[in-house]
Amino acid sequence: MAVGQGESTLALHGMLEGLELLAEDAVFVHAESLRATGVPNYLHVREDGLAWVDDAQYRQWISSSPTIRRRSGVEKFEIDLRDGPARLAAPLALAGIVFVASPGPATTTAQLRPVGRECVAARLAAEQPYAASQQGWVAFMHEVARLSTFELIRGHHPLESVRMLRQLLD
């Protein structure tokens, strides 16, 4: 997933809707088995992400979190997942890939589009340059080529995107 496309807000709303969270930023995938593990300690969400949180208890939990400033200068809440409503996922095998993209000006609702296998390798390498430089990348790409891949064009409300992801999971 590309940075700045709303992944953290999507992760937050998925979690608030009962989906399990493996991790936000640090997911490690074994190249041959595609077993993913993560470190789900914190979720980083910008203050404007609170506009989509209707539940007062969740808003309080998020807004009382400390803030951090990213290298980009963006300030975010650092939400401690260890003492909140999160259902944290155990390690799991990758079943598919979803790239997240911002909605265009003409986008009215969230959309889920298949991504052709011929585009996956280049897109993953572009979005994960550090991983692409690692020794197991070729083996990883060989295994990933078997997975279904989609692009999620975010809707205007994060719950639209969560509903699209649920369609894939059900």
Higher pLDDT, 105 or 3: 105
Query: Which pLDDT score is estimated for 2?
Result: 44
**Both tokens assigned to 69:** 């400033």
Model pLDDT for residues 62-99, shown as the tens digit of each residue: 999 999 998 889 999 999 988 778 788 899 999 999 99
Residue 4 pLDDT level (bands cut at 50, 70, 90): low
Query: Which pLDDT score is estimated for 1?
Result: 42
* Mean pLDDT, residues 33-43: 90
Q: For residues 24, 25, 31 and 32, what is the CA-based torsion angle, rounded to 10 degrees?
A: -10
DSSP3 helix / strand / coil % (the chain, rounded to 5): 35, 25, 40
Model pLDDT for residues 122-159, shown as the tens digit of each residue: 999 998 999 999 999 999 999 999 999 999 998 888 99
Q: In angstroms, rounded to a whole number, what is the distance separating the alpha carbons of residues 23 and 68?
A: 18
**Both tokens assigned to 39:** 């470190």
Q: Please, what is the average pLDDT of the chain?
A: 89
Query: Which pLDDT score is estimated for 30?
Result: 94
Residue 5 pLDDT level (bands cut at 50, 70, 90): low
